[in-house]
Amino acid sequence: MGPDILPYMAGTTTARRVWYAGDEWVSHYCSIVDVSQPRTWTNLGTAAIWGLYERAFMPLIERVWVVSQFEERAMRRWAGATRVDTLANGVDADYYAPQPVAERKHAAVFWGRLDFSPNLQALSWFCHDVWPRLRERFPDASFTIIGFGAGEEARTLAAVPGVTLLADLPDLRAAVAANGVVVMPFRSGGGIKNKVLEAAGMAKAIVCTPLACSGLRGTPPVITATRPQEWADALTRIWTDVSAQRQLGLDARRWVLAEHSWRRTAADAIASLADAPAL
């Protein structure tokens, strides 16, 4: 698992060489380039380095496992891989289960690594472009950011009115449960957003961008929005209709139990090995 394992895998001849890549890194670094922000341009160079690195080892790898069909296409294109399987992530639905915590009104939450560019881009856009519209409508609205590795950029967001940062929280479940809505305003990155699976496991209503649904099985019962006004309207509707909010959460848990168990992913992994001869 992970890109650093490739040199070790290339040196063995006593085991089947299957690389669990998860995400494809060329497409990841390209996605966080913003032509209007020169400081992001260096990611193009990083993407090129990753592409050369991946290609160097592909002839020696029996199979590559990624988490979505988008990643599968990217791995074939950039790494030159020919034997790629899509294994969608699962969720521990017993751990990420509904919590008996009273929800605050007009409250939303996000969690994730706070030193990871796609998370920071999502949060910055939401706090500056969407959140002020919501605070105009709901002066008591609260937005909680949970995560590890918070640097200056993440801590600056906590200065936005109504925004609270909970850094390095060892267990996020109770803090998430206190919010009626989970927001996933992603504008970059790839793979499967595990946060969507975890939120669904906890039976939370989810508002997200279409990008956040990438790689998911079935039809996730979420509300998608793209532009700031769409986001403000979506959260307004869900905050003012508590029964619909709860139903969305119940539907989300039923969906994730049916579509994203680890047992199902393990079965897919075994099948991929059984159907393909070793090198």
- pLDDT tens digit string along 198-245? 999 999 999 999 999 988 999 999 999 999 999 999 999 999 999 999
| 57/40 same-domain check | yes
Structure confidence at residue 58 (pLDDT): 92
The domain that contains 123 carries what CATH number?
A: 3.40.50.2000
Q: What secondary structure does DSSP assign to 191-217, as a single string?
A: S--HHHHHHHHTT-EEEE-GGGGTT-S
| 17/119 same-domain check | no
Nearest to 196 by CA among 219, 220, 226: 220
| 205/127 same-domain check | yes
Phi, psi of 228 (to 5 degrees): -55, -40
The residue ranking higher by pLDDT, 163 or 9, is 163
Chain segment 158-196, per-residue pLDDT in tens = 999 999 999 999 999 999 999 999 999 999 887 789 999
pLDDT (average), residues 38-51: 91
Residue-number span of the structural domain to which 77 is assigned: 3-90+262-274
pLDDT (average), residues 96-119: 93
* Residue 271 in this model has a pLDDT that exceeds 60: yes
| Residue 111 within a domain | yes
Non-local CB neighbours of 188 within 8 Å, separated by 6+ positions: 31, 32, 117, 118, 121, 122, 211
Q: Considering only 15-19, 117-121, 134-138, 195-199, which range has the smallest mean pLDDT? A: 15-19
Task: Say what angle helices 242-259 and 194-201 make with each other, to 10 degrees.
Answer: 110
| 79/36 same-domain check | yes
* Residue 103 in this model has a pLDDT that exceeds 90: no
| 267/218 same-domain check | no
Looking at the 3D structure of the chain, how many domains does it have? 2
Nearest to 116 by CA among 180, 38, 23: 23
Bridge-based pairing of strands 163-167 and 84-86 is unpaired
Q: Considering only 37-41, 143-147, 177-181, which range has the smallest mean pLDDT? A: 37-41
| 111/237 same-domain check | yes
| 114/233 same-domain check | yes
| Residue 96 within a domain | no
Residues 217, 235: Cα–Cα separation, whole Å: 24
pLDDT bracket for residue 278 (50, 70, 90)? low
Q: Give the DSSP H/E element, type plus range, for residue 104.
A: strand 104-111
Structure confidence at residue 37 (pLDDT): 84
Non-local CB neighbours of 246 within 8 Å, separated by 6+ positions: 205
Tokens 């592909």 correspond to what residue?
A: 58
| Residue 99 within a domain | no
* pLDDT above 70 coverage of the chain, percent: 98
